Amino acid sequence: MNRIVFLGTPDFAVPALKELTQNGYEVTLVITQKDKKKGRGKVITKSPVKIAAEELSIDIHQPVNVNTKESLELIRSHKPDFIVVVAYGQILSEEFLLIPQIECLNIHASLLPKYRGAAPINWAIINGESESGVAIMRVEKGLDSGPVYKMESIALDDRITAGELHDTLMYMGAKLITDVIELISQKKITPVKQDSSKVSYAPMLNKSMSLIDWNNTCQDINNLIRGLDPWPGSVIRYESKEIKIFSTSFILENHDKKPGTILEV
């Protein structure tokens, strides 16, 4: 059975790690970001992937920089057939990408080449896309630019939030990565180069996006609120206070109120 080194940090990566081990793959090393202080109490917190790796009794490595000589030597010592990267959080060097015997793979939460970058789930909803999905691609030096082995899509309605889509795609990606590794091992699949003319990007979110602009259409406002849920969330200003908006719905009748007017509390 293939030997795998796994890189990941947040919740999104956990189902893939578990799926690989449950399907008999030998995950010999998990690499994740260092424990960080979180919350108002600044409590030192392990990453979700570290917690999962401890439960699975897998060796863990938490380097400040995964591309150092020491880290690369450690990874080489595991002699991985595959390296699987899922939302790890560091750029990987060309020397790193040469380590696996067979392939270095990444789960990306978009239908590439659309939405390369850090927040593909959110931007697909903010931009009102009718579908999203996951892609399994070869990791290359460029940002999410490697050839794609396989993609799976899901239709989007005007109610799904980024948090809900995140949870759906993380399980889709977990299943898809095991399928792709099996197909590569059997030499039954080859990757397809991305169409550079259709590339779009999904930059990181920030709190400055949260304030709702009532000059936008109701559809755009609905998309923004869903796309920023759960973080950073959407807000309106009322009497010098910020009010967080969790969800919206459309009304069928016309009215004469100015957009953003609070009708009832």
pLDDT at position 121: 99
pLDDT at position 249: 87
pLDDT at position 41: 83
Q: Note the pLDDT tens digit of each residue in 106-146.
A: 999 999 999 999 999 999 999 999 999 999 999 999 999 99
**List of E strands, the chain:** 3-8, 26-31, 36-38, 43-45, 59-61, 82-86, 103-108, 131-138, 148-155, 234-238, 241-245
Question: Where exactly are the structural domains of the chain?
Answer: 3-198
CA distance 66 to 70: 9
pLDDT at 263 over 80: no
Select from 3.30.1490.190, 3.40.50.170, 3.20.20.110, 3.40.710.10 the CATH code of 3-198. 3.40.50.170
Q: What is the pTM of this model?
A: 0.95
Instruction: Tell me how crowded residue 16 is: count the other CB atoms within 10 A of its CB.
Output: 26
Mean pLDDT within 62-84: 98
Q: Note the pLDDT tens digit of each residue in 188-230.
A: 999 999 999 999 999 999 999 999 999 999 999 999 999 999 9
pLDDT at position 226: 98
Residue 201 contacts by C-beta under 8 Å, 6 or more apart in sequence? 115, 116, 117, 143
